[in-house]
A and B are shown apart, each in its own frame.
Chain A
Amino acid sequence: GQQLNQSPQSMFIQEGEDVSMNCTSSSIFNTWLWYKQDPGEGPVLLIALYKAGELTSNGRLTAQFGITRKDSFLNISASIPSDVGIYFCAGPGVNAGNMLTFGGGTRLMVKP
């Protein structure tokens, strides 16, 4: 089946810094999703991408669907303490029906 590799696995940054993380797939995806999970809570959908090359923003967050359809990127500008959490990428693959494959997550820690 499909595998998603997220990097970095964790990041410890200073408040105000920009953040970049990415996700790569072993196969082509036709949708990319980015979630954020706060400690002790369920993941929340941040951004959904549907077309290769698509760039979508949600406030300080910007995500891109890679043109090869095998990768996606999430950027956070001017980080703040409430950005702390685990960020997951997910995608269905081409033949995976309505199920999702999740990456292992990027744990973000922000120092005030």
Chain B
Amino acid sequence: SQTIHQWPATLVQPVGSPLSLECTVEGTSNPNLYWYRQAAGRGLQLLFYSVGIGQISSEVPQNLSASRPQDRQFILSSKKLLLSDSGFYLCAWSPGTFYEQYFGPGTRLTVT
């Protein structure tokens, strides 16, 4: 069966520091991968999606970036965090031919 991992689970970072969040998927190949952000009590905002290694599409212009160095690895990064980057970051995957997305456990990021 397929499993999706995210780490770290919780992160507290000062403003201006770099960020690296990692997501990996097991038990499938060639998945579509997604990064979402969720503000407290709010809905899901799609940040990036990827249909293959090195292929990244951005949905929202901001100081975040994403990379996909391996088929089942998706990384969210920032060179300098802003206070507004605080939130709950979710990674998701979907089979290439279906719409259903499956979410990881999330990373709670607090920028201080």
Query: Which chain A residues (88-107) contact chain B, with CB distance < 8 Å?
Result: 88, 90-92, 98-100, 102-105, 107
Residues of B within 8 A of A104 (CB): 42-43
Q: Indicate if the CB atoms of A42 and B49 lie closer than 8 Å.
A: no
Which of B41, B49, B98, B102 meets A99, CB within 8 Å? Answer: B49
- Per the CB 8 Å criterion, the residue count for chain A at the interface is 22
Residue of B nearest to A29 (CB): B99
Which of A41, A45, A102 meets B102, CB within 8 Å? Answer: A45
- Per the CB 8 Å criterion, the residue count for chain B at the interface is 23
Residues of A within 8 A of B94 (CB): 98
Check: B86 CB closer than 8 A to any chain A CB.
no
CA distance in complex: A103, B106 (Å): 19
| Residues of A near any B CB (own CB < 8 A) | 31, 33, 35, 40-45, 48, 88, 90-92, 98-100, 102-105, 107
Q: Can you sample 17 A-B contacts with CB below 8 Å? A: A31-B99, A40-B106, A40-B108, A41-B105, A42-B92, A42-B105, A45-B101, A45-B102, A88-B43, A90-B101, A92-B99, A98-B49, A98-B96, A99-B49, A100-B46, A100-B99, A102-B44
